[in-house]
């Protein structure tokens, strides 16, 4: 079922002369605007990688990936449409979290016909309480996601753009340990970032320290830093 968040982003990226739910090469596009296919993907990017890999062979594609920097949660009952007061989720999405998704997109990105917009948003999540189905599973069912506002948008088109997601003072030679420290993120996310950067051509492996791979920037760091300021 389409969420309110998805509909809002379609309206945001649509414009005069655009079509929604248009069929392109047998695929349903969220927005088709003057030959540009816009795909809004609030869930995992892995679900559309084959679709995007096919479409970019024949035209331009813009993938829009929202990340909730701030999330408000409301519990209620959709039958009465009564929802409680919103409370803020302790989880805060950051730009670096896009690596958790891009790790599944390394065979698609970069491509001359592909652009990715990472959109930091504030959203409201409507939840319905339910009995936990698994020991560590959620005790709720997601009813809807609503866009409250767009905080920022970051465009990715090249390996240099990917490198701009890392701090400008990242050492010229680094392992995932240094990367996790500089990104202020867990080791598992740093490993995904390192994999993505390497396989997308932003860095290269130069050797090992013990069992840790040593990486080096493969594109100009100055250009990446300038782009980071421009975002």
Domain with CATH 3.30.63.20 in the chain: 161-230
Rounded Cα–Cα distance for residues 134 and 138 (Å): 8
Task: Decide which of 33 and 16 is more confident.
Answer: 33
At 226 the pLDDT is 38
Q: What is the CATH number of domain 4-157?
A: 3.40.1350
Express each pLDDT in 42-91 by its tens digit: 999 999 999 999 999 999 999 999 999 999 999 998 888 899 999 999 99
- pTM comes to 0.88
121-144 in b/e burial notation, b at 16+ Cβ within 10 A? bebbbbbeeeeeeeeeeeeeeebb
Instruction: Give Cα 55 to chain centroid, integer Å.
Output: 19
As to burial, measured by CB atoms within 10 angstroms (0-12 exposed, 13-18 middle, 19+ buried), residue 108 is buried
Rounded Cα–Cα distance for residues 31 and 151 (Å): 22
At 124 the pLDDT is 96
Rounded Cα–Cα distance for residues 182 and 170 (Å): 7
CATH topology assigned to domain 161-230: Guanylate Kinase phosphate binding domain (3.30.63)
Half-sphere exposure of 154 (CA within 13 A, CB side): 24
Alpha helical stretches, state H, 38-158: 49-55, 99-102
- For residue 210, what are the contacts with CB-CB under 8 A and spacing of at least 6? none
Domain with CATH 3.40.1350 in the chain: 4-157
Express each pLDDT in 203-219 by its tens digit: 999 999 989 999 999 98
């Amino acid at each position: 079922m389409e969420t309110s968040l998805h509909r809002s982003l379609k309206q945001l990226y649509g414009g005069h002369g655009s079509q929604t739910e248009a069929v392109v090469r047998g695929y349903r596009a969220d927005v088709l605007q003057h030959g540009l296919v816009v795909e809004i993907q609030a869930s995992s990017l892995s679900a559309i990688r084959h679709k995007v890999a096919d479409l970019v062979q024949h035209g331009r594609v813009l993938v829009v990936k929202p990340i909730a920097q701030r999330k408000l949660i409301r519990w209620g009952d959709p039958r009465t449409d009564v929802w409680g007061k919103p409370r803020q989720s302790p989880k805060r999405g950051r730009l670096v979290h896009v690596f958790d998704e891009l790790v599944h997109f390394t065979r698609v990105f970069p491509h001359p016909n592909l652009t990715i917009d990472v959109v930091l948003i504030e959203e409201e999540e409507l939840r319905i309480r339910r009995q936990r189905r698994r020991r560590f599973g959620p005790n709720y069912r997601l009813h809807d996601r609503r866009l409250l506002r767009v905080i920022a948008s970051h465009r990715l088109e090249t390996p240099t753009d990917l490198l701009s997601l890392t701090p400008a003072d990242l050492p010229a030679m680094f392992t995932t340990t240094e990367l996790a420290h500089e990104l202020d993120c867990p080791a598992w996310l740093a490993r995904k970032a390192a994999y993505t950067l390497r396989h997308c051509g932003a860095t290269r492996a130069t050797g090992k320290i013990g069992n840790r791979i040593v990486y080096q920037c493969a594109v100009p760091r100055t250009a990446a830093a300038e782009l980071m300021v421009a975002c």
